[in-house]
Amino acid sequence: MAAINLSMGAAIVGAAESNEIGYPEERGEKVTSLQHHIQAIKNVSEYTGIPISDIEGIFSTGWSVELAEHLGIRPHYIDTTSVGGCSFEIHVHHALAAIASGIIDVAVVSHGEAGWSYRGAGGGGGGRGEMSPGAEMTMAYGTFGAPSQYAHAMVRHMHQYGSTVEDFAHISVVTREWAQKNPRALMFTDASQAEVKLGERTPNPFGGPITVQDVLDARIIAWPLTLFHCCLVTDHGGAVIVARPEIARSLRTNPVWIAGAGESMAHQNMLEMDDFTATSAARSSAIAYEMAGLGPQDMDMALIYDSFTVTAAITAEMLGLAPRGQGCRLWKDGDAAPGGRLPINTNGGGLSFNHSGMYGMQLLVEAYRQLSGTAEDGINGIEGKQTDSHTCVVNGTGGTLSTTGTLVLVSDD
């Protein structure tokens, strides 16, 4: 089937977060998932100068109709795709297609999730409410919840390729290094500095740099995963606006162009995985690279879903950024670290920045900020490029290494 080339058919023209991310409940506040959505959309509207009334397409994981009602708009295009943490990369893909085909000119992709404040209460929305058949079959054998399932993937990787728990620990250490450069990161600094740097923000006793030994010595969550191999659980809201080229070039903000996009899935139940060390990111990235006319060797940086350290390592391999079995080396050898040849997860990732449950929106916000030159500097508190990056591969993961969405983004330089 002949396909229309969508490359560069739209741009991300702005990104913003909700007002209170992290642990607002600890500060005596209670922010709902819907409030996170609305705050983020309002903030990105003000940032770009695009009125909410000009938004024609709404993309979210099940919230789109309710958002339209609260925003007072009647969208021409509604998307409620909900396939886990990669949903937002897939939303951008769908928005690109809708804009390039002429259906709409401006779209918002939004996410709000009170993952911490409403933990255990389904704060993210979009769930079915009942147990899936897959869960019924695995729970009886003690396999329930993300840590226990991702632990299986990590053990298989170690068995198949000879990687070690220490190899994976380097991912957590380097990601924490990036968090030290991001004043919005929950693990930005230690408690003594937090009061100085962040005013009234609650000091985090776990903040600050960590070592490989710290990762190894942390309490076990699901062997071999210790606490620092696992992502945070927080509140977060974020939104990006996607617009057709003519609008993108007319705004005061710097556009970040969507050069390539792809999506894929491999399974729902982890027991159906052909290989615990391989995901559908290989296919979704191949589609995105082909659309962009670029390859992994052309990427200056990467934003990769890191629900666990093993997620990041396996995904890096699937994206072609490292050979099979050697994903950890990007972090261990310093390539992914500040000053390295391929910066990865420059915001501090789900491991040290923020992870509300579905993390793909945080990837989009950071990709836009880095490529548009508006990333915050943790030392000076000013906006600017932390890296000299012009191209970025963004990959989200949904379910248990199940669905993936990949974007290839390029700056306007």
**Distance of alpha carbon 304 from alpha carbon 19, whole angstroms:** 24
In a domain, residue 349? The reply is yes
- Reported as half-sphere exposure (CB side, CA atoms, 13 A), residue 264 has a value of 20
Q: Distances from the Cα of 336 to the Cαs of 182, 328, 330, in angstroms?
A: 16, 10, 5
- The pLDDT of residue 22 is 86
- The pLDDT of residue 134 is 66
From the list 315, 304, 296, the residue with the least C-alpha distance to 364 is 304
CA 214 vs. chain centroid, Å, equals 25
pLDDT of 382 higher than 90: no
* Percentage of residues in the chain having pLDDT higher than 70: 85
> Domain containing 255: what range?
11-125+232-410
Torsion of the alpha carbons at 281, 282, 283 and 287, rounded to the nearest 10: 90
pLDDT of 215 higher than 60: yes
Give the chain's mean pLDDT: 89
**Distance of alpha carbon 97 from alpha carbon 75, whole angstroms:** 16
User: Is residue 343 reached through a cis peptide bond, with omega within 30 degrees of 0 on the bond before it?
Assistant: no
**Distance of alpha carbon 179 from alpha carbon 329, whole angstroms:** 20
In a domain, residue 83? The reply is yes
Question: Structure tokens of 167?
Answer: 């190899």
**Distance of alpha carbon 96 from alpha carbon 222, whole angstroms:** 39
**Distance of alpha carbon 101 from alpha carbon 269, whole angstroms:** 35
User: Is residue 133 reached through a cis peptide bond, with omega within 30 degrees of 0 on the bond before it?
Assistant: no
For the chain, the first-to-last Cα distance in angstroms comes to: 34
- The pLDDT of residue 142 is 66
8 Å CB contact between 253 and 372: yes
- The pLDDT of residue 112 is 95
> How many other β-carbons are positioned within 10 Å of the β-carbon of residue 265?
18
Total domains, the chain: 1
| CATH code, 313 | 3.40.47.10
In sequence order, what are the beta bridge partners of 230? 308
**Distance of alpha carbon 408 from alpha carbon 288, whole angstroms:** 6
In a domain, residue 169? The reply is no
Q: What are the pLDDT digits (tens) for 343-355?
A: 999 999 999 999 9
In a domain, residue 375? The reply is yes
pLDDT of 144 higher than 80: no
Q: What are phi and psi of 91, to 5 degrees?
A: -60, -45
Q: What are the pLDDT digits (tens) for 94-111?
A: 999 999 999 999 999 999
- The pLDDT of residue 27 is 63
Q: What are the pLDDT digits (tens) for 364-377?
A: 999 999 999 998 65
In a domain, residue 90? The reply is yes
In a domain, residue 132? The reply is no
pLDDT of 328 higher than 70: yes
Structure confidence at residue 381 as a pLDDT band (50, 70, 90): very low
* Highest mean pLDDT of the ranges 26-40, 197-211, 325-339: 325-339
In a domain, residue 272? The reply is yes
> How many other β-carbons are positioned within 10 Å of the β-carbon of residue 140?
9
DSSP secondary structure code for residue 276 in this structure: T
Q: Are strands 220-222 and 225-226 parallel, antiparallel or unpaired?
A: antiparallel
pLDDT of 169 higher than 60: yes
- The pLDDT of residue 383 is 54
pLDDT of 312 higher than 50: yes
pLDDT of 194 higher than 50: no
In a domain, residue 160? The reply is no
Q: What is the CA radius of gyration of the chain?
A: 20
8 Å CB contact between 344 and 316: yes
pLDDT of 125 higher than 50: no
Q: What are the pLDDT digits (tens) for 246-278?
A: 999 999 999 999 999 999 999 888 878 889 999
pTM surpassing 0.85? yes
